[in-house]
Structure 1
Amino acid sequence: MRQKYHGCLDQFSILYHAVVFEGWANEADIEIYYDDTRLNVSLTPVKRPDLVPLFGKEAEGWGFAACATLPTKEIDRTKFKLRLNQGIPSANNELFNTALVPADKVFAQMVNTFIAAVAQKPDPSLLEIGSRARSGNTYRDWFPEKLDYVGIDVHAGPNVDVVGDAHHLSRYVDRRFDFMFSISVFEHLLMPWKVALEMNKTLNDGGQALIISHPSWPLHEVPWDFFRFSKDSWHGIFNVHTGFRVVDAQYQFQASIVPVYSNAPHLDNMSTFPTYLLSGCLVEKTGPPQVAWEAEASAVYDLNYSHE
Protein backbone atom coordinates (compact mmCIF):
# COMPACT_ATOMS: atom_id res chain seq x y z
CA MET A 1 0.00 0.00 0.00
CA ARG A 2 1.38 3.39 -0.97
CA GLN A 3 2.20 5.69 1.92
CA LYS A 4 -0.33 8.50 2.15
CA TYR A 5 1.87 11.22 3.59
CA HIS A 6 5.21 12.44 2.27
CA GLY A 7 7.42 15.33 3.28
CA CYS A 8 10.89 16.52 4.18
CA LEU A 9 12.51 19.48 5.91
CA ASP A 10 15.34 20.88 3.75
CA GLN A 11 16.29 23.92 5.80
CA PHE A 12 15.79 25.02 9.38
CA SER A 13 17.58 28.25 10.34
CA ILE A 14 17.32 30.49 13.39
CA LEU A 15 17.99 34.18 12.72
CA TYR A 16 17.65 36.69 15.54
CA HIS A 17 13.95 36.61 16.50
CA ALA A 18 12.85 34.41 13.60
CA VAL A 19 12.97 30.86 12.40
CA VAL A 20 13.11 30.22 8.64
CA PHE A 21 12.40 26.78 7.24
CA GLU A 22 11.87 25.25 3.82
CA GLY A 23 10.86 21.85 2.57
CA TRP A 24 8.02 19.99 0.95
CA ALA A 25 4.97 17.97 1.92
CA ASN A 26 1.81 16.65 0.34
CA GLU A 27 -1.44 17.69 1.98
CA ALA A 28 0.61 20.28 3.82
CA ASP A 29 -0.82 21.38 7.16
CA ILE A 30 2.15 23.12 8.71
CA GLU A 31 2.31 23.97 12.39
CA ILE A 32 5.35 24.92 14.45
CA TYR A 33 5.56 25.21 18.23
CA TYR A 34 8.21 26.57 20.55
CA ASP A 35 8.07 25.52 24.19
CA ASP A 36 4.52 24.26 23.52
CA THR A 37 3.40 27.67 22.20
CA ARG A 38 2.15 27.69 18.62
CA LEU A 39 3.92 30.25 16.44
CA ASN A 40 2.33 32.33 13.70
CA VAL A 41 3.67 31.06 10.39
CA SER A 42 4.00 33.01 7.14
CA LEU A 43 3.97 30.49 4.30
CA THR A 44 4.92 30.84 0.62
CA PRO A 45 4.44 28.08 -2.00
CA VAL A 46 7.61 27.02 -3.84
CA LYS A 47 7.62 24.94 -7.01
CA ARG A 48 9.53 21.65 -6.69
CA PRO A 49 10.00 20.09 -10.15
CA ASP A 50 12.62 17.78 -8.61
CA LEU A 51 9.80 15.86 -6.90
CA VAL A 52 7.91 15.09 -10.11
CA PRO A 53 9.96 11.99 -11.13
CA LEU A 54 9.28 10.46 -7.70
CA PHE A 55 5.68 11.41 -7.02
CA GLY A 56 4.14 12.65 -10.26
CA LYS A 57 3.13 16.04 -11.63
CA GLU A 58 1.12 17.08 -8.59
CA ALA A 59 4.27 17.00 -6.44
CA GLU A 60 5.59 20.11 -8.21
CA GLY A 61 3.30 22.13 -5.94
CA TRP A 62 4.37 20.52 -2.67
CA GLY A 63 7.21 22.91 -1.86
CA PHE A 64 7.06 25.69 0.71
CA ALA A 65 9.14 28.41 2.34
CA ALA A 66 8.05 29.58 5.77
CA CYS A 67 9.06 31.83 8.62
CA ALA A 68 7.82 32.56 12.12
CA THR A 69 8.83 35.02 14.81
CA LEU A 70 10.18 33.70 18.09
CA PRO A 71 9.41 34.88 21.62
CA THR A 72 13.10 35.13 22.59
CA LYS A 73 16.63 35.23 21.20
CA GLU A 74 17.78 32.68 23.76
CA ILE A 75 16.76 29.61 21.77
CA ASP A 76 16.79 25.99 22.87
CA ARG A 77 16.49 23.87 19.73
CA THR A 78 15.03 20.94 21.66
CA LYS A 79 11.88 22.96 22.41
CA PHE A 80 10.74 23.09 18.77
CA LYS A 81 7.97 20.87 17.46
CA LEU A 82 7.00 20.90 13.80
CA ARG A 83 4.26 19.28 11.77
CA LEU A 84 4.37 19.19 7.98
CA ASN A 85 1.07 17.36 7.57
CA GLN A 86 -1.17 15.03 9.53
CA GLY A 87 1.23 12.14 8.97
CA ILE A 88 4.59 13.81 9.62
CA PRO A 89 4.95 15.48 13.03
CA SER A 90 8.31 15.95 14.71
CA ALA A 91 9.12 13.46 17.46
CA ASN A 92 12.17 14.22 19.61
CA ASN A 93 13.50 16.39 16.77
CA GLU A 94 13.76 13.44 14.39
CA LEU A 95 12.26 15.55 11.62
CA PHE A 96 14.96 18.19 12.00
CA ASN A 97 17.66 15.55 11.67
CA THR A 98 16.46 14.67 8.16
CA ALA A 99 17.86 17.96 6.88
CA LEU A 100 21.37 16.59 6.33
CA VAL A 101 23.35 17.70 3.30
CA PRO A 102 25.65 15.17 1.60
CA ALA A 103 28.74 17.11 2.72
CA ASP A 104 27.95 16.30 6.36
CA LYS A 105 27.97 12.58 5.65
CA VAL A 106 31.23 12.69 3.68
CA PHE A 107 32.87 14.73 6.44
CA ALA A 108 31.78 12.13 8.99
CA GLN A 109 33.28 9.40 6.81
CA MET A 110 36.63 11.23 6.82
CA VAL A 111 36.58 11.54 10.62
CA ASN A 112 35.58 7.89 11.00
CA THR A 113 38.43 6.84 8.70
CA PHE A 114 40.90 8.52 11.05
CA ILE A 115 39.28 7.05 14.17
CA ALA A 116 39.37 3.57 12.60
CA ALA A 117 43.04 3.95 11.67
CA VAL A 118 43.89 4.77 15.29
CA ALA A 119 41.86 1.81 16.56
CA GLN A 120 43.48 -0.63 14.12
CA LYS A 121 47.06 0.41 14.89
CA PRO A 122 48.82 -1.86 17.43
CA ASP A 123 49.78 0.19 20.50
CA PRO A 124 48.94 3.55 18.88
CA SER A 125 50.25 6.88 20.13
CA LEU A 126 48.43 10.16 19.56
CA LEU A 127 49.13 13.82 20.25
CA GLU A 128 46.20 16.22 20.50
CA ILE A 129 47.02 19.87 19.76
CA GLY A 130 44.77 22.13 21.81
CA SER A 131 43.60 19.46 24.22
CA ARG A 132 42.32 21.56 27.12
CA ALA A 133 38.83 20.40 28.09
CA ARG A 134 36.87 23.63 27.80
CA SER A 135 33.55 23.17 29.66
CA GLY A 136 34.61 19.61 30.43
CA ASN A 137 34.48 18.46 26.79
CA THR A 138 37.11 16.09 25.40
CA TYR A 139 37.37 13.78 22.41
CA ARG A 140 39.07 10.93 24.28
CA ASP A 141 36.04 8.68 23.83
CA TRP A 142 36.69 8.69 20.07
CA PHE A 143 39.73 6.50 20.61
CA PRO A 144 40.74 3.20 22.27
CA GLU A 145 40.92 3.27 26.05
CA LYS A 146 44.54 2.04 26.08
CA LEU A 147 45.71 4.70 23.65
CA ASP A 148 49.10 6.30 24.41
CA TYR A 149 47.64 9.80 24.47
CA VAL A 150 49.37 13.13 25.10
CA GLY A 151 47.50 16.43 25.09
CA ILE A 152 49.27 19.75 24.60
CA ASP A 153 47.71 23.17 25.10
CA VAL A 154 48.90 26.73 25.54
CA HIS A 155 47.25 26.72 28.99
CA ALA A 156 47.23 24.21 31.81
CA GLY A 157 43.89 22.60 32.56
CA PRO A 158 41.86 19.40 32.38
CA ASN A 159 43.10 16.95 29.74
CA VAL A 160 46.42 18.82 29.32
CA ASP A 161 49.63 16.83 29.78
CA VAL A 162 52.06 19.35 28.29
CA VAL A 163 51.79 23.15 28.39
CA GLY A 164 53.34 24.77 25.34
CA ASP A 165 52.88 26.73 22.13
CA ALA A 166 52.18 24.57 19.08
CA HIS A 167 54.28 26.97 16.97
CA HIS A 168 57.28 25.42 18.74
CA LEU A 169 55.90 21.95 19.34
CA SER A 170 59.25 20.14 19.22
CA ARG A 171 60.53 22.23 22.16
CA TYR A 172 57.91 20.71 24.42
CA VAL A 173 57.54 17.20 23.00
CA ASP A 174 60.73 15.17 22.60
CA ARG A 175 59.23 12.09 20.96
CA ARG A 176 57.26 11.05 17.89
CA PHE A 177 53.67 9.92 17.52
CA ASP A 178 51.69 7.72 15.15
CA PHE A 179 48.77 10.15 15.01
CA MET A 180 47.87 13.77 15.73
CA PHE A 181 44.63 15.65 15.73
CA SER A 182 43.33 19.13 16.40
CA ILE A 183 39.81 20.57 16.51
CA SER A 184 39.01 24.29 16.32
CA VAL A 185 42.59 25.33 16.99
CA PHE A 186 44.18 26.19 13.64
CA GLU A 187 42.17 29.41 13.29
CA HIS A 188 43.92 30.60 16.47
CA LEU A 189 47.44 29.90 15.17
CA LEU A 190 49.33 32.96 13.97
CA MET A 191 51.51 30.85 11.66
CA PRO A 192 49.74 27.55 10.89
CA TRP A 193 52.35 26.62 8.28
CA LYS A 194 55.01 26.69 11.01
CA VAL A 195 52.88 24.37 13.12
CA ALA A 196 52.74 21.97 10.15
CA LEU A 197 56.55 21.94 10.11
CA GLU A 198 56.60 21.27 13.84
CA MET A 199 54.08 18.47 13.39
CA ASN A 200 56.42 16.92 10.85
CA LYS A 201 59.19 16.83 13.47
CA THR A 202 57.02 14.98 15.98
CA LEU A 203 55.05 12.62 13.71
CA ASN A 204 56.31 9.22 12.60
CA ASP A 205 56.88 8.61 8.88
CA GLY A 206 53.55 7.59 7.40
CA GLY A 207 51.75 8.98 10.44
CA GLN A 208 48.40 10.68 9.99
CA ALA A 209 46.77 13.80 11.37
CA LEU A 210 43.16 14.98 11.41
CA ILE A 211 42.81 18.76 11.46
CA ILE A 212 39.40 20.47 11.78
CA SER A 213 38.81 24.22 11.74
CA HIS A 214 36.41 26.74 10.19
CA PRO A 215 35.86 28.24 6.73
CA SER A 216 33.19 30.48 8.30
CA TRP A 217 32.55 31.21 11.96
CA PRO A 218 31.86 34.30 14.06
CA LEU A 219 34.89 36.00 15.51
CA HIS A 220 35.72 34.30 18.78
CA GLU A 221 38.40 34.40 21.44
CA VAL A 222 39.73 37.61 19.92
CA PRO A 223 42.35 38.95 19.48
CA TRP A 224 43.66 35.42 18.90
CA ASP A 225 41.37 34.61 15.99
CA PHE A 226 43.52 34.77 12.85
CA PHE A 227 42.35 32.51 10.00
CA ARG A 228 39.52 30.75 8.18
CA PHE A 229 40.17 27.71 5.98
CA SER A 230 38.40 26.42 2.89
CA LYS A 231 38.85 22.71 2.31
CA ASP A 232 41.21 23.52 -0.55
CA SER A 233 43.39 25.77 1.60
CA TRP A 234 44.76 22.75 3.48
CA HIS A 235 46.86 21.94 0.43
CA GLY A 236 48.74 25.19 1.01
CA ILE A 237 49.74 24.06 4.51
CA PHE A 238 50.17 20.30 4.16
CA ASN A 239 52.15 19.59 0.99
CA VAL A 240 55.47 18.30 -0.32
CA HIS A 241 57.25 21.40 1.01
CA THR A 242 56.11 20.74 4.58
CA GLY A 243 56.49 16.96 4.19
CA PHE A 244 52.84 15.95 3.91
CA ARG A 245 50.12 14.96 1.50
CA VAL A 246 46.42 15.64 1.87
CA VAL A 247 44.56 12.32 1.90
CA ASP A 248 41.10 13.88 2.14
CA ALA A 249 39.49 17.27 2.78
CA GLN A 250 35.80 17.96 3.37
CA TYR A 251 33.20 20.43 4.63
CA GLN A 252 30.51 20.07 7.28
CA PHE A 253 27.47 22.13 8.32
CA GLN A 254 26.32 24.19 5.34
CA ALA A 255 25.48 27.75 6.32
CA SER A 256 24.63 31.21 5.01
CA ILE A 257 26.21 34.57 5.66
CA VAL A 258 23.58 37.20 6.38
CA PRO A 259 24.57 40.89 6.59
CA VAL A 260 23.06 42.69 9.57
CA TYR A 261 22.10 45.52 7.22
CA SER A 262 21.98 45.09 3.44
CA ASN A 263 23.06 48.57 2.47
CA ALA A 264 24.95 47.74 -0.73
CA PRO A 265 23.83 45.93 -3.91
CA HIS A 266 26.40 43.15 -3.60
CA LEU A 267 24.98 42.26 -0.16
CA ASP A 268 21.37 41.82 -1.26
CA ASN A 269 21.56 38.11 -2.15
CA MET A 270 24.57 37.08 -0.10
CA SER A 271 22.53 34.65 2.00
CA THR A 272 21.73 32.57 -1.09
CA PHE A 273 25.37 31.62 -1.61
CA PRO A 274 26.66 28.65 0.38
CA THR A 275 29.40 28.51 2.93
CA TYR A 276 30.23 25.97 5.63
CA LEU A 277 30.99 26.12 9.32
CA LEU A 278 33.61 23.37 9.44
CA SER A 279 36.35 22.23 7.12
CA GLY A 280 38.79 19.48 7.84
CA CYS A 281 41.58 17.46 6.35
CA LEU A 282 43.18 14.08 6.83
CA VAL A 283 46.90 14.32 6.09
CA GLU A 284 49.83 11.90 6.01
CA LYS A 285 53.50 12.56 6.64
CA THR A 286 55.48 11.65 3.51
CA GLY A 287 58.97 12.64 4.59
CA PRO A 288 61.07 15.51 5.91
CA PRO A 289 60.11 19.06 4.91
CA GLN A 290 61.89 20.88 2.11
CA VAL A 291 61.60 24.28 3.79
CA ALA A 292 62.25 25.81 7.21
CA TRP A 293 60.57 28.62 9.10
CA GLU A 294 62.57 29.59 12.15
CA ALA A 295 60.61 32.71 13.10
CA GLU A 296 59.57 33.16 16.71
CA ALA A 297 55.80 33.52 16.55
CA SER A 298 55.65 35.47 19.81
CA ALA A 299 58.04 38.07 18.38
CA VAL A 300 55.41 39.01 15.80
CA TYR A 301 52.33 39.19 18.01
CA ASP A 302 51.38 38.83 21.65
CA LEU A 303 50.43 35.17 21.99
CA ASN A 304 49.75 35.26 25.73
CA TYR A 305 46.40 33.61 25.15
CA SER A 306 44.21 34.45 28.12
CA HIS A 307 40.75 33.02 27.37
CA GLU A 308 39.75 30.42 29.90
Structure 2
Amino acid sequence: MKKMLKKLLKIDSGVSAHNNVELDRQYLSKDVPMSNIARHQNWYSHLIQIGNKPGMRILEVGSREVTGSYNAKENFRNAEYVGFDYYPGNNVDVVGDAHKLSSYFKEDEKFDIIYSASCFEHFAMPWLVAVEIAKLLKVGGVVLVETHFSYSAHERPWNFFQYSDMGLKVLFSKALGFECIEAGMSNPIVGRFSLLADEYLRNKPVRGLYCHSEYLGKKIKEMENFSWEQLNLEDVVGDTKYPEPK
Protein backbone atom coordinates (compact mmCIF):
# COMPACT_ATOMS: atom_id res chain seq x y z
CA MET A 1 0.00 0.00 0.00
CA LYS A 2 2.83 2.38 0.90
CA LYS A 3 4.61 1.64 -2.39
CA MET A 4 1.45 2.36 -4.36
CA LEU A 5 0.90 5.63 -2.47
CA LYS A 6 4.46 6.76 -3.17
CA LYS A 7 4.01 5.92 -6.85
CA LEU A 8 0.78 7.92 -7.04
CA LEU A 9 2.37 10.86 -5.27
CA LYS A 10 5.30 10.75 -7.68
CA ILE A 11 2.97 10.70 -10.68
CA ASP A 12 0.87 13.51 -9.23
CA SER A 13 4.00 15.55 -8.54
CA GLY A 14 5.17 15.06 -12.11
CA VAL A 15 1.80 16.10 -13.52
CA SER A 16 1.71 19.16 -11.25
CA ALA A 17 5.21 20.17 -12.31
CA HIS A 18 4.24 19.76 -15.96
CA ASN A 19 1.11 21.83 -15.45
CA ASN A 20 3.12 24.53 -13.69
CA VAL A 21 5.60 24.69 -16.58
CA GLU A 22 2.77 25.04 -19.07
CA LEU A 23 1.21 27.75 -16.90
CA ASP A 24 4.54 29.59 -16.72
CA ARG A 25 4.86 29.47 -20.52
CA GLN A 26 1.84 31.74 -20.71
CA TYR A 27 3.93 34.48 -19.13
CA LEU A 28 6.52 34.44 -21.94
CA SER A 29 6.42 36.95 -24.80
CA LYS A 30 6.54 35.36 -28.24
CA ASP A 31 8.49 38.24 -29.74
CA VAL A 32 11.25 38.17 -27.10
CA PRO A 33 14.22 35.97 -28.10
CA MET A 34 15.72 33.70 -25.47
CA SER A 35 19.50 33.76 -25.27
CA ASN A 36 21.46 30.60 -25.96
CA ILE A 37 25.22 31.21 -26.08
CA ALA A 38 24.90 34.35 -23.96
CA ARG A 39 22.35 32.87 -21.56
CA HIS A 40 23.02 33.51 -17.86
CA GLN A 41 24.35 30.00 -17.23
CA ASN A 42 26.25 29.72 -20.53
CA TRP A 43 28.10 32.94 -21.33
CA TYR A 44 30.96 32.59 -18.86
CA SER A 45 31.95 29.10 -19.97
CA HIS A 46 31.73 30.31 -23.59
CA LEU A 47 34.17 33.15 -22.89
CA ILE A 48 36.56 30.80 -21.09
CA GLN A 49 36.42 28.42 -24.04
CA ILE A 50 37.30 31.08 -26.61
CA GLY A 51 39.48 33.28 -24.40
CA ASN A 52 41.58 31.09 -22.12
CA LYS A 53 44.43 30.81 -24.61
CA PRO A 54 48.00 32.13 -24.79
CA GLY A 55 48.19 35.58 -26.34
CA MET A 56 44.57 36.49 -25.55
CA ARG A 57 43.91 39.63 -23.51
CA ILE A 58 40.72 39.73 -21.42
CA LEU A 59 39.22 42.76 -19.70
CA GLU A 60 36.37 42.47 -17.22
CA VAL A 61 34.52 45.71 -16.46
CA GLY A 62 33.11 45.46 -12.95
CA SER A 63 35.35 42.66 -11.78
CA ARG A 64 35.20 43.03 -7.99
CA GLU A 65 33.88 39.93 -6.26
CA VAL A 66 30.64 41.05 -4.61
CA THR A 67 28.41 37.97 -4.30
CA GLY A 68 31.10 35.28 -4.09
CA SER A 69 34.35 34.05 -5.56
CA TYR A 70 34.48 32.81 -9.15
CA ASN A 71 38.27 32.72 -9.71
CA ALA A 72 38.44 34.74 -12.94
CA LYS A 73 42.23 34.84 -12.92
CA GLU A 74 42.36 31.07 -12.58
CA ASN A 75 39.70 30.51 -15.23
CA PHE A 76 41.70 32.67 -17.65
CA ARG A 77 45.09 31.45 -16.43
CA ASN A 78 46.39 30.80 -19.97
CA ALA A 79 45.47 34.32 -21.10
CA GLU A 80 46.20 37.79 -19.75
CA TYR A 81 43.27 38.83 -17.56
CA VAL A 82 42.70 42.37 -16.27
CA GLY A 83 39.96 43.18 -13.76
CA PHE A 84 38.58 46.75 -13.67
CA ASP A 85 36.29 48.14 -10.99
CA TYR A 86 35.15 51.33 -9.28
CA TYR A 87 36.41 50.05 -5.93
CA PRO A 88 39.51 48.02 -5.01
CA GLY A 89 38.97 44.44 -3.89
CA ASN A 90 39.40 40.81 -4.83
CA ASN A 91 39.88 40.31 -8.56
CA VAL A 92 40.56 44.03 -9.23
CA ASP A 93 43.73 45.12 -11.03
CA VAL A 94 42.73 48.63 -12.12
CA VAL A 95 40.50 50.99 -10.12
CA GLY A 96 38.58 53.70 -11.94
CA ASP A 97 35.44 55.08 -13.55
CA ALA A 98 34.07 52.95 -16.41
CA HIS A 99 32.75 56.10 -18.10
CA LYS A 100 36.43 56.99 -18.71
CA LEU A 101 37.61 53.41 -19.16
CA SER A 102 40.13 53.96 -21.98
CA SER A 103 41.96 56.67 -20.04
CA TYR A 104 43.34 54.05 -17.63
CA PHE A 105 45.18 52.18 -20.38
CA LYS A 106 47.88 53.02 -22.89
CA GLU A 107 46.72 54.42 -26.22
CA ASP A 108 47.71 51.29 -28.18
CA GLU A 109 46.54 48.83 -25.48
CA LYS A 110 43.74 46.62 -26.87
CA PHE A 111 41.83 43.56 -25.72
CA ASP A 112 40.48 40.46 -27.48
CA ILE A 113 37.49 40.08 -25.14
CA ILE A 114 35.79 42.67 -22.96
CA TYR A 115 32.91 41.57 -20.77
CA SER A 116 30.72 42.94 -18.02
CA ALA A 117 28.23 41.09 -15.83
CA SER A 118 25.55 42.69 -13.63
CA CYS A 119 27.14 46.11 -13.92
CA PHE A 120 25.50 48.05 -16.76
CA GLU A 121 22.46 48.74 -14.58
CA HIS A 122 24.82 50.67 -12.29
CA PHE A 123 26.37 52.92 -14.95
CA ALA A 124 24.90 56.44 -14.92
CA MET A 125 25.76 57.00 -18.60
CA PRO A 126 25.97 53.55 -20.23
CA TRP A 127 26.20 55.00 -23.73
CA LEU A 128 29.58 56.46 -22.75
CA VAL A 129 30.74 53.12 -21.34
CA ALA A 130 29.83 51.44 -24.64
CA VAL A 131 32.06 53.91 -26.51
CA GLU A 132 34.89 53.33 -24.04
CA ILE A 133 34.62 49.58 -24.55
CA ALA A 134 34.74 50.09 -28.32
CA LYS A 135 37.95 52.10 -27.96
CA LEU A 136 39.72 49.28 -26.11
CA LEU A 137 38.42 46.30 -28.10
CA LYS A 138 40.38 44.97 -31.07
CA VAL A 139 38.70 44.72 -34.45
CA GLY A 140 37.48 41.13 -34.48
CA GLY A 141 37.28 41.15 -30.68
CA VAL A 142 34.26 40.02 -28.68
CA VAL A 143 32.11 41.98 -26.24
CA LEU A 144 29.69 40.34 -23.80
CA VAL A 145 27.29 42.29 -21.61
CA GLU A 146 24.92 40.66 -19.16
CA THR A 147 22.63 42.90 -17.16
CA HIS A 148 19.05 43.03 -15.90
CA PHE A 149 15.71 43.55 -17.61
CA SER A 150 13.51 42.93 -14.56
CA TYR A 151 15.07 42.63 -11.14
CA SER A 152 14.82 43.76 -7.55
CA ALA A 153 16.09 47.21 -6.67
CA HIS A 154 19.66 46.77 -5.45
CA GLU A 155 22.83 48.70 -4.64
CA ARG A 156 20.90 51.94 -4.52
CA PRO A 157 21.30 54.83 -5.08
CA TRP A 158 23.33 53.59 -8.05
CA ASN A 159 20.69 51.39 -9.62
CA PHE A 160 20.04 53.46 -12.74
CA PHE A 161 18.76 51.39 -15.68
CA GLN A 162 17.16 48.14 -16.76
CA TYR A 163 17.70 46.85 -20.30
CA SER A 164 15.87 44.96 -23.00
CA ASP A 165 17.80 43.00 -25.61
CA MET A 166 16.95 45.78 -28.07
CA GLY A 167 18.38 48.38 -25.70
CA LEU A 168 21.72 46.56 -25.62
CA LYS A 169 21.71 46.26 -29.42
CA VAL A 170 21.25 50.04 -29.65
CA LEU A 171 24.22 50.63 -27.33
CA PHE A 172 26.43 48.27 -29.38
CA SER A 173 25.08 48.94 -32.87
CA LYS A 174 26.80 48.93 -36.26
CA ALA A 175 27.12 52.69 -35.88
CA LEU A 176 29.67 52.01 -33.13
CA GLY A 177 31.34 49.31 -35.22
CA PHE A 178 29.67 46.20 -33.79
CA GLU A 179 27.98 43.16 -35.27
CA CYS A 180 25.46 41.40 -33.04
CA ILE A 181 26.07 37.68 -32.61
CA GLU A 182 23.22 37.19 -30.15
CA ALA A 183 20.95 39.36 -28.03
CA GLY A 184 18.15 38.05 -25.88
CA MET A 185 16.75 37.32 -22.45
CA SER A 186 17.00 34.52 -19.92
CA ASN A 187 15.40 33.42 -16.66
CA PRO A 188 11.71 34.30 -17.12
CA ILE A 189 9.80 35.71 -14.18
CA VAL A 190 6.14 35.08 -13.33
CA GLY A 191 4.60 38.28 -11.98
CA ARG A 192 1.42 40.00 -10.91
CA PHE A 193 0.48 43.41 -9.54
CA SER A 194 0.33 43.38 -5.74
CA LEU A 195 -2.59 44.33 -3.53
CA LEU A 196 -0.71 47.58 -2.84
CA ALA A 197 -1.02 48.66 -6.48
CA ASP A 198 -3.77 50.91 -7.82
CA GLU A 199 -7.12 49.19 -7.47
CA TYR A 200 -7.67 48.55 -11.18
CA LEU A 201 -4.31 46.72 -11.42
CA ARG A 202 -4.44 44.51 -8.34
CA ASN A 203 -3.66 40.83 -8.97
CA LYS A 204 -3.46 41.33 -12.74
CA PRO A 205 -0.74 39.18 -14.31
CA VAL A 206 2.40 40.82 -15.68
CA ARG A 207 3.80 38.94 -18.66
CA GLY A 208 7.05 39.30 -20.55
CA LEU A 209 9.29 39.61 -17.50
CA TYR A 210 12.84 38.24 -17.63
CA CYS A 211 15.58 38.59 -15.05
CA HIS A 212 18.57 38.81 -17.38
CA SER A 213 19.23 40.47 -20.71
CA GLU A 214 22.37 39.66 -22.68
CA TYR A 215 24.33 40.92 -25.66
CA LEU A 216 27.14 39.09 -27.43
CA GLY A 217 28.80 40.95 -30.26
CA LYS A 218 31.93 41.33 -32.36
CA LYS A 219 33.73 44.53 -33.28
CA ILE A 220 33.92 44.63 -37.06
CA LYS A 221 35.14 48.18 -37.66
CA GLU A 222 37.09 50.96 -36.00
CA MET A 223 34.92 54.08 -35.71
CA GLU A 224 37.03 57.22 -35.46
CA ASN A 225 35.67 60.28 -33.63
CA PHE A 226 32.39 58.55 -32.78
CA SER A 227 29.70 60.84 -31.37
CA TRP A 228 26.17 59.92 -30.28
CA GLU A 229 25.01 63.43 -31.18
CA GLN A 230 25.93 62.94 -34.84
CA LEU A 231 23.82 59.81 -35.30
CA ASN A 232 20.43 59.53 -36.92
CA LEU A 233 17.80 57.31 -35.32
CA GLU A 234 18.12 54.78 -38.16
CA ASP A 235 21.83 54.41 -37.43
CA VAL A 236 21.11 52.64 -34.15
CA VAL A 237 17.71 50.99 -34.66
CA GLY A 238 18.60 49.53 -38.08
CA ASP A 239 15.67 48.26 -40.13
CA THR A 240 13.32 48.10 -37.13
CA LYS A 241 10.55 50.61 -36.53
CA TYR A 242 8.13 51.51 -33.78
CA PRO A 243 4.88 49.48 -34.16
CA GLU A 244 2.42 51.35 -36.34
CA PRO A 245 -0.95 52.38 -34.85
CA LYS A 246 -3.71 49.86 -35.43
TM-score (norm 2): 0.72
Q: Which residue number in structure 2 is paired with residue 89 of structure 1?
A: none
Specify whether residues 221 and 116 from structure 1 end up closer, same or farther in structure 2 by C-alpha distance, changes over 3 A only: same
Larger Rg: 1
Q: Is the 1:125–1:177 Cα contact (8 Å) retained in structure 2?
A: yes
Q: Which residue number in structure 2 is paired with residue 116 of structure 1?
A: 49
Q: Is the 1:234–1:246 Cα contact (8 Å) retained in structure 2?
A: no
Q: Which residue number in structure 2 is paired with residue 41 of structure 1?
A: none
Separation of aligned partners in 1, 2:201 and 2:133: 41
Give the superposition deviation at 1:103.
4.3
Give the superposition deviation at 1:218.
1.1
Among candidates 150, 163, 170, match of residue 236 of structure 1: 170
Task: Describe the SS at the equivalent of 2:191.
Answer: coil
Specify whether residues 114 and 7 from structure 1 end up closer, same or farther in structure 2 by C-alpha distance, changes over 3 A only: farther
> 1:20-48: CA deviations, max 9, x gaps?
xx524xxxxxxxxxxxxxxxxxxxxx799
Pairs within 5 Å for 1:139-218: 140=72, 143-174=75-106, 175-218=109-152
Separation of aligned partners in 1, 2:119 and 2:146: 8
Q: Is the 1:184–1:213 Cα contact (8 Å) retained in structure 2?
A: yes
Task: Describe the SS at the equivalent of 2:176.
Answer: coil
Q: Report 1 or 2 for greater relative contact order, CA contacts < 8 Å, sequence distance ≥ 6.
A: 2
1:260 aligns with 2:194: yes
Specify whether residues 154 and 284 from structure 1 end up closer, same or farther in structure 2 by C-alpha distance, changes over 3 A only: same
Q: Which residue number in structure 1 is paired with residue 242 of structure 2?
A: none
Give the superposition deviation at 1:149.
0.5
Counterpart residue type for residue 188 of structure 1: H
Counterpart residue type for residue 165 of structure 1: D
Among candidates 190, 202, 214, match of residue 280 of structure 1: 214
Give the superposition deviation at 1:190.
1.1
Separation of aligned partners in 2, 1:47 and 1:127: 41
TM-score (norm 1): 0.59
Aligned alpha-carbon RMSD (Å): 3.1
Specify whether residues 258 and 139 from structure 1 end up closer, same or farther in structure 2 by C-alpha distance, changes over 3 A only: farther
Q: Is the 1:136–1:158 Cα contact (8 Å) retained in structure 2?
A: no
Which structure 1 segments of 5+ residues have no match? 11-21, 25-45, 51-62, 64-101, 295-308
Separation of aligned partners in 1, 2:194 and 2:203: 11
Separation of aligned partners in 2, 1:159 and 1:277: 25
Q: Is the 1:131–1:151 Cα contact (8 Å) retained in structure 2?
A: yes
Pairs within 5 Å for 1:220-235: 220-235=154-169
Give the superposition deviation at 1:286.
1.4
Task: Describe the SS at the equivalent of 2:138.
Answer: strand
1:138 aligns with 2:70: yes
Separation of aligned partners in 1, 2:95 and 2:60: 12
| Alignment size in residue pairs | 207
1:23 aligns with 2:17: yes
Q: Which residue number in structure 1 is paired with residue 232 of structure 2?
A: none
Q: Which residue number in structure 2 is paired with residue 127 of structure 1?
A: 59
Give the superposition deviation at 1:113.
3.5
Which structure 2 segments of 5+ residues have no match? 1-6, 24-32, 230-246
Separation of aligned partners in 2, 1:279 and 1:211: 8
Bigger helix share: 2
Separation of aligned partners in 2, 1:47 and 1:240: 41
> 1:152-178: CA deviations, max 9, x gaps?
101111111001111100111221111
Separation of aligned partners in 2, 1:255 and 1:8: 22
